[in-house]
């Protein structure tokens, strides 16, 4: 006996500034769609149950675990993944600061941490150490680079402030 195909739905959404229209299974997670359908493998599927944060993306300006969001829920919405963090000018200041402050070890958690912190920096011009720690509270790093992550984020925030001040002159 053949099993019926899962229910599917055609949706349109934007990822990293690019419009996509896909036919997706109703139960497919955003993390799966990003990795397997769109080839954006920066979004990791670690625990697949909202415990590690390696799948964190920014959805309409808010950091979310992509393993807990069904793709059908993002119809008409905007997603940013770690692949969309850098711009035409080069790396995002947060990425540059992570390199400078040695906040990267094995790399499994880094895309999710970067996206959590990018969402923070989009809303907080001068975050405190506590703000940074709170922003990454759901992101587990087995290598323990949290102190360097905090330093890097504060440095990136300062760089972003300096760029904004330079642009307004």
> Is the residue at 2 inside a domain?
no
d(CA 21, CA 12): 4
Longest dimension (CA), the chain: 71
| CATH (domain of 147) | 1.10.150.120
Going edge to edge, which strands form the sheet with 62-65? 18-25, 8-15, 78-80, 56-59, 62-65
Rounded to two decimals, what is the model's pTM? Answer: 0.93
Q: Are residues 59 and 98 located together in one domain of the fold?
A: no
> Is the residue at 146 inside a domain?
yes
Last residue of a domain, one of 27, 56, 84: 84
| Helix (H), strand (E) at residue 24 | strand 18-25
Strand-strand pairing, 78-80 and 8-15: parallel
Q: Are residues 62 and 124 located together in one domain of the fold?
A: no
Last residue of a domain, one of 36, 54, 84: 84
Predicted local distance difference test score (pLDDT) of residue 63? 98
Question: How many folded domains does the chain comprise?
Answer: 2
For residue 163, what are the domain limits?
A: 93-167
d(CA 96, CA 151): 12
Q: Are residues 119 and 139 located together in one domain of the fold?
A: yes
Q: Are residues 108 and 130 located together in one domain of the fold?
A: yes
Residue 166: pLDDT band by 50, 70, 90 thresholds? confident
Q: Are residues 15 and 78 located together in one domain of the fold?
A: yes
pLDDT beyond 90 at 2: no
- Tens digit of pLDDT for each residue in 43-79? 999 999 999 999 999 999 999 999 999 999 999 999 9
- Tens digit of pLDDT for each residue in 28-47? 999 999 999 999 999 999 99
Q: Are residues 52 and 104 located together in one domain of the fold?
A: no
List CB contacts of 26: < 8 A, sequence separation 6 or more.
Answer: 6, 7, 8, 9, 70, 72
Q: Are residues 76 and 110 located together in one domain of the fold?
A: no
Q: Are residues 60 and 102 located together in one domain of the fold?
A: no
Percent of the chain predicted with pLDDT > 90 = 88
Eight-state DSSP code of residue 52: S
């Amino acid at each position: 006996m053949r099993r019926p195909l899962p229910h599917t739905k055609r949706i349109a959404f934007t990822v990293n500034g690019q419009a996509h229209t896909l036919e997706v299974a109703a139960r497919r997670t955003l993390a799966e769609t990003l990795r397997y359908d769109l080839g954006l493998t920066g979004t990791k599927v670690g625990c697949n149950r909202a415990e590690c944060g390696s799948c964190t993306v920014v959805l309409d300006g808010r950091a979310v675990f992509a393993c807990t969001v069904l793709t059908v829920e993002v119809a008409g919405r905007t997603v940013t993944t770690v692949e969309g963090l850098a711009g035409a000018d080069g790396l995002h200041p947060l990425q540059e600061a992570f390199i400078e402050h040695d906040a990267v070890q094995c790399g499994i958690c880094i895309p999710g941490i970067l996206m959590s912190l990018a969402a923070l920096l989009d809303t907080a011009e001068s975050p405190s150490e506590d703000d940074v720690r709170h922003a990454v509270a759901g992101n587990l790093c087995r290598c323990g680079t949290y102190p360097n992550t905090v330093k890097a984020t504060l440095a990136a925030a300062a760089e972003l402030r300096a760029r904004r001040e330079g642009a307004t002159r």
